[in-house]
Structure 1
Amino acid sequence: MPNGIELKFEELMLVPPLSQLLPNIMVASQRYGLLRANSRGRGMEFSEVRSYQPGDDIRTIDWRITARTGKTFTKLFREERDRNVYIILDLDPAMYFGSQGQLKARFAALIAASCAWQAFDMKDKVGGMIILGDTPIRHKPGGMRGDMLAWIRKVYEAYQIGLRRQNFDYSISNGLEIFVNHARPGSVFHIISDFYRLNDNAWLYLRRLNKSHIVRTYQIYDKLEMEIDGKGTVGINTGNNHGYISSLNRDFVENYRRIGVHRIHNINRMLTEASQKNICIDVSDPLLGKREEQQDESDSSENEVK
C-alpha cells in the first residue's frame, strides 16, 4: 500500500484510466465530453480555399478573400488523423503537501500519466510541460510508444526532484503563456495544479487557450487547506519552515475555514468559466488511495466464489 509520498515508476506505467482513477466524478464523462468519442467529425486542420457553393456552411466563409475579390470564398478543412494532447503538470513546492491521504503532487502525477495513456490509446500525440525549477521540463508531442515512455520517465524523475522542496521562480503562469502563442489550434489541454499561484495574466491566457483548444483542468486540494479537523494542535512542515495550527481558538478556526473555503470555491468558479470542464479533487480522501486495493480485493473474492 502506497504511503502517500513515495511514487514508483511502475505506478505511472500501470495507472488506471481516468474513469477508474476518478470514478465518482467521471461518471458523467459522456455528457460533459471529458472522454472524446472515436468519431471525430470535421477536423480543424485547414486545407484550402475555393469558391462558395450552395450548401456550404456559411461559418467557413473566408471573409478576407471575399472582401478583397468581391466573390464569396469558403475554407476547406481536412479531417485530422491525430490530435495534439498537451499535459501541463504543476510540481511547484506547494503541491508537495498532504494531510492524511497523499501529497497533491503525487496524485497530480498519476493524473498526468493517466491522461497521457488515454491519449496514446486514442492514437493522439502526447506532449506537455512539467512546471519544476527555473526552467520547465518540456516534451514535444509524439505518438510512438517511445515518446510515451519518455514522458512517463520525465514525470517520474520530476516528481523525485520535487520532493527536495526547493524554491523555484518558474510558475504555471509562465507555462500557459508559452502554449497560448505556440500550440497547434484544436489541441487538447489537461492542466493539473492547485492553481493557487495563477496571476491575472494567467487567467487571461487560460481563457484564450479555451477559445481555440479543448481545455480540461484538474484542481487539486487538501481538506486541511479548507478547515481544521479534530481537536488539538497540528504540526505543519513546509520543508524550509515549520509551525503549528491550533484548533483551540474558535475564532481562528472559523476564520481559517472561511478563508480556505472561499479560496477553493473561487478558484473552482474561475476554472469552470475558463475551461470546458474543471474537476475538483480532495487528495485527503482516503478512497483515492484505496480504490485500486478494493478492486483487487473484489477480484480476489470473485475468483474464490468461482
Structure 2
Amino acid sequence: MDTAEILKKVRRIEMKTRGLSNHIFSGEYHSAFKGRGMSFSEVREYQFGDDVRSIDWNVTARFNHPFVKIFEEERELTVMLLVDVSESSVFGTVHQNKRNLTTEICAVLAFSAINNNDKVGVIFFSDGVEKYIPPKKGKSHILFIIRELLSFKPKKKGTNIRETLRFFNNAAKKRSIVFLLSDFLAGDYQDALTIASRRHDMVGIHVYDQRDKELPPVGLIQAVDAETGGRQWVDAADKRVQQYYTQQFLQHTQYCRSAFLKSGAELVSVRTDEDYVKALQTFFLNRA
C-alpha cells in the first residue's frame, strides 16, 4: 500500500472504531478495568447521608462546620497490545483476514483507553518481537499505532508467543492491562502466560477464520503452510483429511483455553465473519 492508501484506511478505521469507543464501549471499558485506587480530590460541606468516616476533622474544626473528603478513582492505566503479525495472520476467506480484524479490534481498544486517559503501547511479534511501541497518551499516538498495524511488514513468518511474553515480562515495569491478540496456532506458552498473569491483567483475544477449523471439500489441492513454507498435495474431499485438519485446530484451541484458564487470564474468541463488537461488549459487561 502507498502512503495515500494507508492514510485513507487509517481515517476509515478511525471513524468506525472511534464511534464504537465513544458510544458503545466507553462505560463498559471504564467499569471493566478499574484504576489503581482512590486519590483525594477535594473537600465539601457535609450532607445528610455522607459517611462520617470521610469527615475532614481539620477543616471541620477550622470552619466550625462539618466537611467531608471527596475521593476519586485513579484512572491512569497502561494498556499493552501484543499483536501477532506472523504469516498466518493474513489468512482469511470470508469478509476479511485475521490481520484486518485484529487491526480494528486494536483500534477500538486503543480509543477506549485514551477516552479514559490511559496510555497505550504495542508489541508486534512473529517468531520473536518485531517492534515495540512504548505506551503514550493522545489521539496522534493512536493514529500512529493504526498506521503501523496497517503497514507493518514482519521480518519473520512464524509465531513464538512464549518469547514475546518473556520479553514483555522483562520490559514492563508497572502493572498493565495486556491484550494478547493471535490465532494461537502455536503452543508451549502456558508457563510464560502464568508469569505474566501474576503481574498484569491478561486478556487473550483469539482471532480465527472458519477455514482454520474446516477444510472445504474441493478435491485435490496443494496445501501451503504459511509460516514454514511447506507444501503438500492433499485430497480435501477425503473425510479422514478433513477430520485430521479439524482435529489439529481443536488441539490448538483446547491448549489455548487450558493455558488461559490455568494461568488465571481471560480469553475472548472472535471469528473473522462474526460481529466482534458483540463479543467485546459481552466481555466488558461480564467483567464489570
For normalisation by structure 2, the TM-score amounts to 0.67
Paired residues in the alignment total 237
Letter in 1 for 2:97: L
8 A contact 1:84–1:184 mirrored in 2: no
CA, structure 1 residues 101+244, in 2 after alignment: closer, same or farther (shift >3 Å)?
farther
1:100 aligns with 2:94: yes
CA distance in 1, matches of 2:130, 2:266: 25
8 A contact 2:206–2:269 mirrored in 1: yes
Choose from 195, 199, 208 the match for 1:208.
Answer: 195
Helix, strand or coil for the counterpart of 2:193? helix
Q: Which residue of 1 aligns with 2:142?
A: 148
Superposed displacement of residue 134, structure 1? 6.7
Q: Which residue of 2 aligns with 1:128?
A: 122
8 A contact 1:43–1:80 mirrored in 2: yes
8 A contact 1:44–1:186 mirrored in 2: no
RMSD between aligned residues: 3.8
Q: Which residue of 1 aligns with 2:211?
A: 224
Helix, strand or coil for the counterpart of 1:102? coil
Superposed displacement of residue 40, structure 1? 3.8
Helix, strand or coil for the counterpart of 2:29? coil
Letter in 2 for 1:157: S
Helix, strand or coil for the counterpart of 2:117? coil
CA, structure 1 residues 11+177, in 2 after alignment: closer, same or farther (shift >3 Å)?
farther
Measured against aligned partners, the alpha-carbon deviations of 1:87-108 in whole angstroms (never above 9, x if no partner) come to 1111011212123332112211
1:278 aligns with 2:267: yes
Superposed displacement of residue 121, structure 1? 0.9
CA, structure 1 residues 223+275, in 2 after alignment: closer, same or farther (shift >3 Å)?
farther
8 A contact 1:268–1:280 mirrored in 2: no
Letter in 1 for 2:103: A
CA, structure 1 residues 244+114, in 2 after alignment: closer, same or farther (shift >3 Å)?
farther
8 A contact 1:193–1:218 mirrored in 2: yes
Q: Which residue of 2 aligns with 1:302?
A: none
CA, structure 1 residues 207+218, in 2 after alignment: closer, same or farther (shift >3 Å)?
same
CA distance in 2, matches of 1:215, 1:235: 38
CA distance in 1, matches of 2:146, 2:238: 45
Superposed displacement of residue 259, structure 1? 2.8
144-153 or 102-111, which moves further after superposition? 144-153
Superposed displacement of residue 197, structure 1? 2.9
CA distance in 2, matches of 1:90, 1:270: 17
Q: Which residue of 2 aligns with 1:177?
A: 166
CA distance in 2, matches of 1:137, 1:275: 27
For normalisation by structure 1, the TM-score amounts to 0.64
CA, structure 1 residues 248+38, in 2 after alignment: closer, same or farther (shift >3 Å)?
closer
Letter in 2 for 1:218: I
Superposed displacement of residue 254, structure 1? 2.2
Q: Which residue of 2 aligns with 1:90?
A: 84
Superposed displacement of residue 191, structure 1? 0.7
Q: How does 1:1-306 map to 2 (within 5 A)?
A: 8-16=9-17, 35-37=29-31, 40=34, 43=37, 80-131=74-125, 136-158=130-152, 161=153, 167-168=156-157, 171-199=160-188, 202-233=189-220, 236-237=223-224, 240=229, 244-283=233-272, 285=273, 287-288=274-275
Helix, strand or coil for the counterpart of 2:246? helix
Identity of aligned residues (%): 18
Superposed displacement of residue 216, structure 1? 0.8
CA distance in 1, matches of 2:12, 2:201: 27
8 A contact 2:127–2:159 mirrored in 1: yes
8 A contact 1:44–1:185 mirrored in 2: no
CA distance in 1, matches of 2:174, 2:18: 26
Helix, strand or coil for the counterpart of 1:35? helix
Letter in 1 for 2:9: K
Helix, strand or coil for the counterpart of 1:216? strand
Superposed displacement of residue 186, structure 1? 2.8
8 A contact 1:206–1:275 mirrored in 2: no
Helix, strand or coil for the counterpart of 1:229? coil
8 A contact 2:223–2:233 mirrored in 1: yes
